[in-house]
Structure 1
């Protein structure tokens, strides 16, 4: 295939390489499960903001574009503390094998105040939503930039399974909210200072890589910029397999506000790759 521009070093088989200059490429908003009425959606899911395309136009310098082109995918929270914006892409996997996601991202608060606003973005993160014949597995990672306006600058993971709730009265639909602010644990050695730059309208792009093995359902790699983190103690969220989700391979990106100002997560491009022949080589 044609070489993918940027710092990407995918596994042998590219499942998709999303360049948002071509559009949203199948990314959409995350909505909670419902039955009979939208009022049955869990309250936490009722105001998740969906993705949009952005050319990063700012009031002071004009259009900045993305890292490698004109458009990025933008997740924008409401101007409300703890508001969430979430984007998801849903596919299925052909083989239970190692997979890897790579992306270029940056985050900023809305430039609605003439100040640094360094601690106005709460968190940005990535997660997989996976299922095999036995269990549903959800590896979560987030960069906790700040909490309630105070800087933290630390990567975290989440393995605590949330409570499931019945939706409707048929007994066929359940829902759980897994993006709450509780239950996150610090990645060992996960402190990292990311380049923010001096004002809210300057964007520096970051490289992120996360590896996961669908056969063992375990993390295999985690890198952000020049830092490689130890994944040996990271655990994913797990739960029993659910109906209708066989071979599910969903990827989720999210942003969380720290204060009453909109938080933005921009993603230039996303590459999801796999090693489809790895299973044949296992001892």
Structure 2
């Protein structure tokens, strides 16, 4: 039984780290760029809303992966894109995984800081962060090992400041929509959704009681905080492998 796994990144960087395939069949793990990032760096920042990103994701998956039901993993702001995609194409989803995803307005920590900035201020912020990448992790900076710092540097170089600004604004506007919370609840009520948090993330941070209630199950990634995909990508891969195993055991609908 083929079960593709598709990782969807947030508004900075990418998820093309081999360690995220730990415990999975690497031939069925996919890590696409969203509009404005990497391969799609030519995209117009004015067309980078969450709705545009979900449409892009649907087209990319159909072209590169096919229409077999997949496990779709959204990290941080990527979860907002995944939720929109799931609402529009529920038949393509075997399960969802929110890796500390933005499932409520309170989740959008960094995007809420960057989105209101003037463009020149975001350019300065990115230049300063590139000079001191660990500063982006705030209290977790001292815990980043060399491999995680290298991955973080890749993230910061993967897109220009104008794309970070546009993507942060898109994430914030989506999560602030009056219907966003109810849309998330509707998806979670009909599609098995798993939550993933870093061990160092304070319990309950950014996760509403309703989201916890609707979740199929939750996983804790050891030795990691919000940026678990940088800090312990192997741990993320093993958690996703458990979701794959759950889907395989689930009776056919």
Alignment TM class, shorter chain as reference: under 0.3
Structure-2-length-normalised TM-score? 0.28
Structure with the largest fraction of helix: 2
Q: Which has the higher contact order (CA 8 A, sep 6+)?
A: 1
Structure with the largest fraction of strand: 1
Structure-1-length-normalised TM-score? 0.26
